[in-house]
């Protein structure tokens, strides 16, 4: 697919891809752009990640991976309201996807919507009861909002689902230490 559409301030998509990827982009496909977007996100290059996710959406439509990535990039860029708009679209399109539901929980928390955030983490756990990341996100949410008892109960439930997960074991130890220290 030829990428010559003009953007408002950053040149054509091809020019943006060349700048970000520093490579020949004539044969690049949307999966390579998506991988580069996630690599940029992991490396902390949030602006590049955002641009790559937007280019990917333009090329490939509203895939769950590109919408989730764009929402996370916006949130990490300090734009949680915009992230919420994007993740709502992802939930509308992919409401049974556990990762999308967990990301909705994360972004709702960033927008200060605690109870809605818990609801989406719970939906995500129902969709995939073996995702340690989702349990840890829910546990962190309870800790962040000062509810160590619910953090403990959620961690206990995570241990039942994932008894050998080292991150869950470590989190349980930290929660127990925090609860003991508060007594």
Provide the domain limits for residue 140.
135-183
Position 94 in a domain: no
Position 82 in a domain: no
Task: Tell me: pLDDT of 85 over 60.
Answer: yes
Question: Could you give the 3-state DSSP secondary structure of residue 154?
Answer: helix
How large is the average pLDDT for residues 18-44? 76
Range from 102-106, 167-171, 175-179 carrying the lowest mean pLDDT: 175-179
Task: Tell me: pLDDT of 20 over 80.
Answer: no
Position 143 in a domain: yes
pLDDT at 84: 97
Position 63 in a domain: no
Position 144 in a domain: yes
**Is the Cβ–Cβ distance between 109 and 117 less than 8 Å?**
yes
Cα(65)–Cα(55) distance, integer angstroms? 13
Task: Tell me: pLDDT of 150 over 80.
Answer: yes
Position 20 in a domain: no
- Locate the DSSP E strands across the chain: none
Q: How many domains does the chain have?
A: 1
pLDDT band at 7 (very low <50, low <70, confident <90, very high): very low
How large is the average pLDDT for residues 115-126? 97
pLDDT at 63: 87
Task: Tell me: pLDDT of 66 over 80.
Answer: yes
Express as a percent the part of the chain with pLDDT over 70.
85
With CA atoms as reference, report the closest residue to 87 among 62, 112, 55: 62
Position 164 in a domain: yes
Task: Tell me: pLDDT of 163 over 60.
Answer: yes
pLDDT band at 58 (very low <50, low <70, confident <90, very high): confident
Position 74 in a domain: no
Range from 46-60, 123-137, 138-152 carrying the lowest mean pLDDT: 46-60
pLDDT at 22: 60
Q: What's the gap between Cα 68 and its chain centre? A: 6
Task: Tell me: pLDDT of 9 over 70.
Answer: no
């Amino acid at each position: 697919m030829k990428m010559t559409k003009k953007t408002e301030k950053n040149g054509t998509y091809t020019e943006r891809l060349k700048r970000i990827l520093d490579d020949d982009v004539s044969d690049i496909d949307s999966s390579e752009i998506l991988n580069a977007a996630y690599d940029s996100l992991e490396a902390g290059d949030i602006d590049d990640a955002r641009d790559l996710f937007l280019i990917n959406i333009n090329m490939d439509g509203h895939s769950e991976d590109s919408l989730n990535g764009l929402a996370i990039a916006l949130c990490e860029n300090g734009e949680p309201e915009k992230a919420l708009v994007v993740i709502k679209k992802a939930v509308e399109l992919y409401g049974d996807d556990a990762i999308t539901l967990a990301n909705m929980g994360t972004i709702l928390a960033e927008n200060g919507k605690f109870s809605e955030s818990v609801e989406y983490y719970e939906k995500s756990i129902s969709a995939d009861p073996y995702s340690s990341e989702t349990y840890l996100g829910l546990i962190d949410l309870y800790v962040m909002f000062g509810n160590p008892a619910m953090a403990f109960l959620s961690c206990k439930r995570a241990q039942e689902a994932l008894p050998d997960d080292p991150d869950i074991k470590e989190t349980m130890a930290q929660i127990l230490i925090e609860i003991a220290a508060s007594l």
